[in-house]
Amino acid sequence: MQPQNQSAIRNPQSANKVAAIQMQVISGEPKKNIVRAEALLNEAAAGGAQVALLPELWTTGYSLDRLDDLAGEYGASTLQFLQDTASRLHMAIVGGSFAVKHPDGVYSTCHIIGPDGALLGSYSKEHLFPLLKEPQYLRPGTPGAVTNTPFGRWSTLICFDIRFPESARQYAYHGARVLWVPSEWPHPRLEHWRTLLRARAIENQFFVVAANRCGHGDNSHWCGHSTIIDPWGTILAEAEEEETILFADLDMAQVDAVRARIPCFEVQEEVEAIP
């Protein structure tokens, strides 16, 4: 199955400067985390970023026993904050994930917001991580869709989702050029994180931009190492374990170049055609 082209995008820019925001999160303190995130988003915009990515559950951390109340109180206002900030900074924001309350329960949801503040797409974490008791407090989302943006076609997976390669592959089949991965990924599984991110980039021949939590909290040591990887699997930027902002330029033409050099999708199409 060949990846879809970008015909739905009127004039996608050939190169985008992106920022992955690696931040410490104060568990159960949305107001404090929003203040910190705003400062980091301002810094990303000042550094020339056209798009910025936040980590997973960046407003609350793993304060899961309070998540229902926090989602009800802060879910809608957090989305409005991100939309207002994107519009003010003229910068698209991939809003990490935060708790959103629905009639059937609470979801960990990532919103893609355009540089004019428009909500372009949303994805709720599909694969919930049992070791951190997520299934007890969160509802699983459904498989995501590729989102049309002014910069091309984007997709999102959240943390544990990257262990399921079929999810990323479906995005590639539907024309994704960038995979955004907000996470709260802890030690001692750092090398899993680094390996899985590169694998998703190499096998799907698209960019992977991943923002992780750092520091200590919620009885875990979060490993940081936010990363930006190109379609060849080359690491363009990688953080250590301190709070920081990664920057990299994504040359969208590289996706087509890599797919032409090693035509994995053409081979897959031939295999599927065999009776």
Show which residues are catalytic: 56, 125, 159
DSSP-derived letter for residue 4 is: P
Task: Say which residues have a Cβ less than 8 Å from residue 29's Cβ, sequence separation at least 6.
Answer: 60
Structure tokens at 142: 């459904």
d(CA 83, CA 199): 32
Among the listed residues 112, 205, 149, 209, the one whose alpha carbon sits nearest the alpha carbon of residue 12: 149
Q: Do the beta carbons of residue 190 and residue 224 sit within 8 Å?
A: no
User: From its phi and psi, is residue 205 left (phi > 0), alpha (psi between -120 and 50) or beta?
Assistant: left
DSSP-derived letter for residue 66 is: G
